[in-house]
Structure 1
Amino acid sequence: MKEQYPVIKGAEPFQFEGSRTGILVSHGFTGAPQSMYPIGKAFADAGYTVCGPRLKGHGTAPEDLEKCTYQDWVASIDEAYAWLQERCDQIFMLGLSMGGTLTLHTAEKYPLAGIIPINAAIDVPAMYENQSVRFIDDDGPDIKKADVMEITYDKMPVQSVEELKKLAKVTKDNLKEITCPALIFVSEEDHVVSPDNSRAILENISSRQKEMITLEESYHVATLDNDQDVIISESLRALQSWL
């Protein structure tokens, strides 16, 4: 799928070369790498090799996203995984929202050393059902902290929501295949993805090492919200314990 629109300034992918331990960082549906940059930079500052891809159809225009299948987003992750594989002996993955879904999906097919899903979706909210329009208006990023900017689309293609539902279903159906260590972050109050998703993930993955941390001061886009430092510190702690 060839994109027709230029990349929004600030929505570019990022890469940091460091140690032989790699971390793949994925943004969410209609978002951009910008939402994950502070987390990725913290991992890089800790010495890790980090790759934050821009998922196909994201960070340009909703019309580009509309042309994508969920396999296009998976392919974006596969490319990032291959980049890390060339440089690293082991790879961890962290993702927000649909990025969390992609984190789970990747763990179902690749030997990841550990995963950190943040407000991951395995069920798409019913409000997106039975839409007869081409685009759904987006009310803006679900962030509790005041005056925080997220690069995201102001409308969602209905066709893309259908692809998101497919990704969520295939991922949910194979959760038992996940055996690597897992740290699951869930916002206590999330107006986009129900916290029940994270509870179901915790319950259904086969990992022996798994824990869930509740974020009490953040909404859905927790990586840019009040608990950003909690995500960074707890993620670094988990990574050290898994190595």
Structure 2
Amino acid sequence: MSIAPHAEPFHHEGGSVGVLFCHGFTGSPKSLRDWADAVAAAGHSVALPRLPGHGTRWQELAVTRWQDWYACVDAEYAALADRCEHVFVAGLSMGGSLALRLAEQHSDVAGLVLVNPALGSTNPAARLAPALKLLLPTTPAIANDTVLAGVDEGAYPLTPVAAVGQLWKLWADVKATLDLVTCPLLVYRSRVDHVVPASSVETIRRLVSSTDYSEVTLLDSYHVATMDTDAHRIVAGTLEFLARVSGDAVPAV
């Protein structure tokens, strides 16, 4: 199945600090590409994969399991860890869920940078997806939630309900062992988010075991903050976080 041009993965060979970027549900690498480019330009090694079932057709996502998404980022993490001294994981929305699971499974994750991480949905019907998929194959897109007009994150025009069911299974798995997360966390949370409820970040804050935890409220961005008004703040904060935690000098922005 052909991959859309905006969904092509991105890799950059840089220094001893590596950053794995995980995009969101129904989205594509496009939503994180500017962020990843900025981190690569600062001299770091970068991996921005296309998650299975994404960037092609929604029908492919409908038959993809959450374990496939996780296996993809796990393999990318292992590849970075083989050549980098410190490996961080950054994620948007569902990408934040996958980042948290990586930190649960790998105690050597250097740190997490999460933007509006998802452990639930603002749509109360979403939890009924395992039953609804038999009657309703798709729902409208959950994309381009930004303050800025004209933003296109490269998401699907429809959301496969079967995949929403997989998403809930991922969230249940991640929430069950959040106490295993001990690495430093930098969490960006939009004050207004039409996709992910505030309870997601509240759950993370309450259950992780990390003692180095920072939370930044974004006042002028919606869910896809990596492509919104506060994107520059996320980039600057990420570079400062990488430098502080890894012990490297702060790179120029």
Same structural fold, with TM-score higher than 0.5 when normalized by the shorter chain: yes
Task: Tell me, in whole angstroms, the C-alpha distance in 1 between the residues paired with 2:19 and 2:153.
Answer: 22
* Larger deviation, residues 28-37 vs 146-155: 146-155
What are the within-5 Å matches in structure 2 for residues 126-137 of structure 1? Answer: 126-130=124-128, 131=132, 132-137=135-140
Deviations 1:127-181 (CA, angstroms, capped at 9, x unpaired): 3243330111215421111122210001111110000000011101111000000
2:150 equivalent in structure 1: 147
Q: What is the aligned partner in structure 2 of residue 90 from structure 1?
A: 86
Q: Which amino acid aligns with 2:126?
A: Y
Q: Displacement of 1:212 after TM fit?
A: 0.4
Question: 1:223 is matched with which residue?
Answer: 226
Equivalent of 1:103 in 90, 99, 103: 99
Alignment partner of 1:214 is 2:217: yes
1:118 aligns with 2:121: no
More helix by share: 2
Indicate which of 46, 51, 59 corresponds to 1:63: 59
Unpaired runs of at least 5, structure 2: 247-253
Q: Percent identity?
A: 38
8 A Cα contact 1:124 1:165, kept in partner = no
Matched to 2:150, the amino acid is D
Q: Is the 8 A contact 2:19 2:89 kept in 1?
A: yes
Aligned to 2:200: 197
Shift >4 Å, 4+ stretches: none
2:2 alignment partner, one of 1, 6, 16: 6
Question: Secondary structure at the residue paired with 1:10?
Answer: helix
Paired with 2:11 and 2:121, the residues of 1 have a C-alpha distance of 30
Q: Is the 8 A contact 1:185 1:198 kept in 2?
A: no
| 1:157 is the counterpart of 2:160 | yes
Instruction: Quote the Cα distance in structure 2 between the aligned partners of 1:220 and 1:115.
Output: 18
Partner of 2:47: 51
Quick check: 1:123–1:169 contact (8 Å CA) kept in 2? no
Secondary structure class of the residue paired with 2:7: coil
- Please, which runs of 5 or more residues in structure 1 have no aligned partner? none
1:47 is paired with a residue of what secondary structure? coil
Question: Match of 2:139, SS?
Answer: strand
Q: What RMSD, in angstroms, separates the aligned Cα atoms of the two structures?
A: 1.1
**Alignment partner of 2:185 out of 182, 191, 197:** 182
